[in-house]
Structure 1
């Protein structure tokens, strides 16, 4: 099965409409699929993904869409999915179109065969855990049972006393969403695999609000309310100007799809840099926007903001690697903060 953009977006839409996996079975049966052939483990989004895979395999995607349309007859996303033409009905901006993606070169592909050492001191792990404390989930309520999600992190810059929180402009960019937004820390598993007690904070509406649009730095910066004086438990990441080069390694701490905090540590090669962006093969998903991109010394080198599939003119990627991602070079964001804060 070729998992298309249309199926990906259908998965998002169906998961929003039917977020309880117990309610999915009736649509499976109505579309002529056999429930016993579908894996129902995981969350609703996982189950819908399995349902769509089975429907596509049996040429019953349209029947599945029609069965859900019986319940949601006015849903324009479902209606558009019945057309043969693949329609992009994503709510989020297509950031891929704003990026000047660079070819993944043969030089980089050779690095992926492990011609470059990936050995690190064991304290790399402890340092990463420490940095991860400052990374939080951004959750914005946009409907009665619908949320927009992203990632962000607490930071300071030398010479400025203010403690800021940083995420993407395309995650939140309008003050009207401040009251509907929570920043959640410790949304993760402990060493035994149990959920940790998380804590959420609200945005300070009277604090700094620095925004840079998608085509510039895709950045929103603000302060959090800390009435209980507990924000200090999460520390902060000190941002400083750095250098980053092609073939360097980068790691991303993130909340992919709004899930518990995760880290990507495999095939993390930088494929291109310039004075605005850093592009890399490090894994991310929807919801990872606003994550800190770290080098091997746990210095932030970029603010992750977008991703895209391999372009036709690029060399083929190794098996198992399907796309590359992009972040805004952190030096630009540091300059942006300094220019705005002094004003």
Structure 2
């Protein structure tokens, strides 16, 4: 979100004071909606100074938009807050969600466990920052060498996979078994894994390295679509990925965090590799279900795409997207849950 002008900042301060006239009211909203302790992030001799400090804290940490959405969403009936939201925030700063009618349902059904109001979801659709931290981008790009496009002909199946160890690749079960009539083992034998499919300096796609699966045992372990939706593939010993293809970095029990960023390397529509970045796109983490839900952009061909957290650690496999009346939702399978079933192979 762009910085507020001085007059806009004053109007926001007065609106928040009007909507939350006591420190306890304000602290409750901040705790419930932002999951922060007011006393830890803002201070002041009176409520005016406290709200001023809160706004400055939000601006300095890129949390101004979530603060505005939280304040208005908790007390939408306050006239001053409503006026600020509709005349300044919504008209000048609002991040529009993609039109629902342009999004296809991909992958298995999703039971959405997060917010269902567009107002709440807007908080997860942050604008691109004016400056990207180069170290952050380097950590993200470093993971690209672990990603491959999965091609299964003549069925025309395409997906994305990730190298997690020498000769071991993870992707979604439904990539190899898209319908009940499919033979997952035949599809595995017909699969081509293509590492390093990037766009070239000329704008066309590089050929990448073609890798085939082991003929005797292409599938080491799997979980069906209605469970953890993964398949662990074994690359043929005669054609392992080159030294340029490095396994993704992972930790057995590492979990993503709600409200943090998540980055997906993928081959949408079977195209050259793309990177989808969100700074705080994770809407919920559900270890008991083995799921993480988020709002990154994906498409057909993105199934099986690795999801990395802001530190470049593999945290999930993307497996589904759905259009809903309130926006577009995405879901991944937590790597920590998959690990429990495949650890003997690693």
Q: Does 1:140 align with 2:159?
A: no
Query: Pairwise mapping of residues 77-156 of structure 1 onto structure 2 (< 5 A)?
Result: 95-96=108-109, 99-104=111-116, 109-110=122-123, 112=125, 121-143=133-155, 147-156=156-165
Q: Is the 8 A contact 1:292 1:302 kept in 2?
A: yes
Q: Is the 8 A contact 2:107 2:319 kept in 1?
A: no
In 2: Cα distance, 1:260 partner to 1:327 partner: 21
State the Cα distance separating 1:248 from its structure 2 match.
1.1
In 2: Cα distance, 1:167 partner to 1:132 partner: 15
State the Cα distance separating 1:126 from its structure 2 match.
2.2
Q: 1:122 to 1:104 in 2, by over 3 A?
A: farther
State the Cα distance separating 1:329 from its structure 2 match.
1.0
Which of the residues 332, 337, 341 maps onto 2:342? 337
Which sections of structure 1, spanning at least 5 residues, go unmatched? 1-89, 157-161, 317-321
3-state SS of 1:126 partner: helix
TM-score (norm 1): 0.61
3-state SS of 1:303 partner: strand
Which of the residues 172, 176, 183 maps onto 2:176? 172
State the Cα distance separating 1:94 from its structure 2 match.
5.6
3-state SS of 1:278 partner: strand
State the Cα distance separating 1:249 from its structure 2 match.
1.0
Higher helix share: 2
In 2: Cα distance, 1:139 partner to 1:204 partner: 15
Q: 1:141 to 1:169 in 2, by over 3 A?
A: same
In 1: Cα distance, 2:152 partner to 2:207 partner: 20
Q: 1:128 to 1:245 in 2, by over 3 A?
A: closer
Q: 1:102 to 1:118 in 2, by over 3 A?
A: farther
Tell me the residue number matched to 2:250.
Answer: 239
In 2: Cα distance, 1:257 partner to 1:213 partner: 23
Q: 1:261 to 1:112 in 2, by over 3 A?
A: closer
Query: Pairwise mapping of residues 177-188 of structure 1 onto structure 2 (< 5 A)?
Result: 177-188=187-198
Q: Which protein, 1 or 2, shows the higher relative CO under an 8 Å CA cutoff with sep ≥ 6?
A: 2
In 2: Cα distance, 1:266 partner to 1:165 partner: 25
Tell me the residue number matched to 1:76.
Answer: none
State the Cα distance separating 1:108 from its structure 2 match.
5.0
Which sections of structure 2, spanning at least 5 residues, go unmatched? 1-103, 178-183
Q: Is the 8 A contact 2:167 2:236 kept in 1?
A: no
In 1: Cα distance, 2:273 partner to 2:339 partner: 25
State the Cα distance separating 1:175 from its structure 2 match.
1.0
Q: Is the 8 A contact 1:251 1:268 kept in 2?
A: no
Q: Is the 8 A contact 1:239 1:334 kept in 2?
A: no
- Structural RMSD (CA): 2.8
Q: Which has the larger radius of gyration?
A: 2
Q: Is the 8 A contact 1:108 1:247 kept in 2?
A: no
